[in-house]
């Protein structure tokens, strides 16, 4: 019959601990290690990281693509074709004059039209205001913010494109005449 290695008490042979001193007689079993949970955590973290990178690259590509397809907004001072001097006052349409012009904007009241024309003049645009009701070639019931007088519609359309790029998106060529037959 064997004895306890610590206290030398006799043992029955199948004890796991000494009944006298409590010493462990059989080796402690090795804990079972499972790599399943840590491996799953690593895989999930890797998938989240890859997903984040793919999402970020898609956003960057989408932003670059959107910027590439959007027209560039160019803010430049349009050069008036009819004058070389800076405007200093809101222009008036000369009585009896028939010509093409650029309609920068239309508004329903004179006060707003004059305020916008004053702001345009302050920014170097030779703007003027006219009451469309006095000109049969224009749509009645609005006040027109105009810029310049041109001999041809093509010249007015060219200037309208410049004004549209310079902050007047509704700029368009129009013919102004106080005579109904024109």
Q: Which CATH code of 2.102.10.10, 3.40.50.620, 3.30.70.1070, 2.60.220.30 fits the domain covering 99-176?
A: 3.30.70.1070
Which 3 state secondary structure label does DSSP give 99?
Answer: strand
**pLDDT, position 104:** 93
21 pLDDT above the threshold of 80: yes
Strand intervals (E) in the chain: 99-107, 127-131, 143-150, 172-176
pLDDT at 37: 87
What is the tens place of the pLDDT at every residue in 79-95? Answer: 555 444 566 788 888 88
pTM: 0.51
What is the band of 153 on the pLDDT scale with cuts at 50, 70, 90?
Answer: very high
Query: What pLDDT score does 151 carry?
Result: 92
d(CA 103, CA 101): 6
List C-alpha distances in Å: 142 to 39, 107, 134.
Answer: 74, 6, 10
State residue 43's pLDDT score: 95
Domain boundaries, the chain: 99-176
Per-residue model confidence (pLDDT) at position 103? 93
What is the tens place of the pLDDT at every residue in 108-142?
A: 999 999 999 898 888 888 899 999 888 998 888 89
Average pLDDT, the chain: 84
């Amino acid at each position: 019959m064997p004895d306890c290695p610590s206290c030398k008490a006799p043992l029955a042979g199948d004890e796991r601990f000494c009944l006298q001193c409590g010493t462990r007689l059989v080796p402690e079993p090795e804990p079972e290690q499972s790599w399943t949970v840590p491996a799953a955590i690593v895989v999930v973290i890797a998938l989240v990281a890859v997903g984040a990178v793919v999402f970020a690259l898609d956003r960057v590509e989408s932003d670059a693509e959107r910027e590439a397809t959007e027209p560039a907004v160019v803010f430049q001072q349009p050069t008036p074709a009819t004058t070389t001097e800076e405007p200093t006052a809101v222009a008036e349409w000369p009585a009896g004059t028939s010509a093409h012009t650029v309609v920068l904007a239309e508004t329903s009241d004179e006060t707003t039209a004059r305020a916008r024309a004053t702001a345009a003049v302050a920014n170097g645009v030779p703007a003027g205001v006219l009451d469309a009701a006095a000109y049969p070639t224009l749509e009645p019931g609005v006040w027109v913010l105009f810029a310049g007088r041109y001999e041809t519609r093509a010249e007015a359309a060219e200037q309208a494109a410049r004004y549209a790029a310079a902050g007047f998106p509704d700029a368009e060529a129009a013919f102004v005449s106080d005579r109904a037959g024109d």
